[in-house]
Amino acid sequence: MKTSAQSSALYTIEQEANAIANLKNFIDDSFDKAVNAIRHASGRVVITGIGKSAIVAQKIVATLNSTGTPSLFMHAADAIHGDLGMIQEKDVVIILSKSGESDEIKVLVPLIKNAGNIIIAIAGNNVSFLAQHADIFLNTTVSKEACPNNLAPTSSTTAQMVMGDALAVCLMQLNGFDSNDFAKFHPGGNLGKRLYLRVNDIYKMNGSPSVKEDVLFKDVIFSISDGRLGATVVLNDNKKITGIITDGDIRRLFEKTDDVKHLKASEISKANPKTILNTALAVEALEKMNSNSITQLIVVDEQDSYLGFIHLHDLIREGII
């Protein structure tokens, strides 16, 4: 049986999920007009609102900026007390409001229209002052707030946020904004590292243990121990990779026999070891390790020459995992 808290949480989630699902009914020609107005504007996108809508506006600004659409936030109350100068001639203005009837909005809209800027309204009332006076109206009407008193902005602000995300994602796709562009705007933190950090940036901190094919078992052990990577590469006389020997291979060998002193590296090694280009993204190395259930990869260049190792611990240290 659900507790009262759990039931309340489930009710809230259901109400807000319904509000989001209903937005599909409001995606029409107006949405196309809004996207085109933003995409073809020679200025920026200025987003404004009052109350909770102002907070949502800040989030949409952050999303647009991080996905390649220059945007800035202007609080509606501050706008009519001096901040209106933030809006430049070619800017597109997005105004968020649940009711579309706030006093600040009613003062602000004529001022913006007189300046000749395009106004896109994101509002939950299609007969409101804002909806009627905007150049483009995006409907975010909700049938009911998740608030049990149907008062606190909950479902309505969620709907506004999702409409903003829909605009941002659409603009990303139309502008060809890809992961490389995204990385330029997110250079910090683990997210940024996943987008720009390459194997070449990491493997050089490790050694590059290797042995020749004809060395004896004792030298293989020394190479693995000295490298501290749990493995060593086997190279032929032309310094090309012919195999790999891991500490796991050594343990499995001892399970079969104790007579190992006479064995050569070529007799112990596994052929066709997993490699990765030094220019590959670090996250690609992680995916390859996961898919092959291994903890290290041999790093090679485009000529397949041996460079070193990248280990799972390197990726953990860098925050890729």
**Share of residues in the chain with pLDDT > 70 (%):** 95
Q: pLDDT per residue over 242-265, tens digit each?
A: 999 999 999 999 998 888 889 999
DSSP state of 210: E
Q: pLDDT per residue over 32-55, tens digit each?
A: 999 999 999 999 999 999 999 999
Determine the pLDDT at residue 68: 86
| Domain segments of the chain as ranges | 4-177, 199-317
Give the containing element (helix H, strand E) for 94: strand 92-97
Q: Using 50, 70 and 90 to split pLDDT, how confident is the model at 127?
A: very high
* Annotated binding-site ranges for Zn(2+): 75
Name the architecture of domain 4-177: 3-Layer(aba) Sandwich (3.40)
Determine the pLDDT at residue 189: 58
CATH 3.30.360.10 fits 199-317, yes or no: no
Could you tell me where the beta strands, DSSP code E, fall in the chain? Answer: 45-49, 71-75, 92-97, 118-123, 136-139, 210-212, 231-235, 241-246, 275-277, 296-300, 306-311
Cβ density class 194-204: b for 16+ within 10 Å, e for less: bbbbbbbbbbe
Distance separating alpha carbons of residues 169 and 30, to the nearest angstrom: 16
Q: pLDDT per residue over 143-158, tens digit each?
A: 999 998 988 899 999 9
Distance separating alpha carbons of residues 127 and 112, to the nearest angstrom: 20
Distance separating alpha carbons of residues 225 and 102, to the nearest angstrom: 72
- At 96, phi and psi to the nearest 5? -105, 135
**Share of residues in the chain with pLDDT > 90 (%):** 79
Determine the pLDDT at residue 191: 60
**0.95 cut: is pTM over it?**
no
Beta partners for residue 140, in sequence order = none
Structure tokens at 19: 């509000």
- At 79, phi and psi to the nearest 5? -60, -40
- Please choose, from the candidates 256, 244, 254, the residue with its C-alpha nearest in 3D space to the C-alpha of residue 220: 244
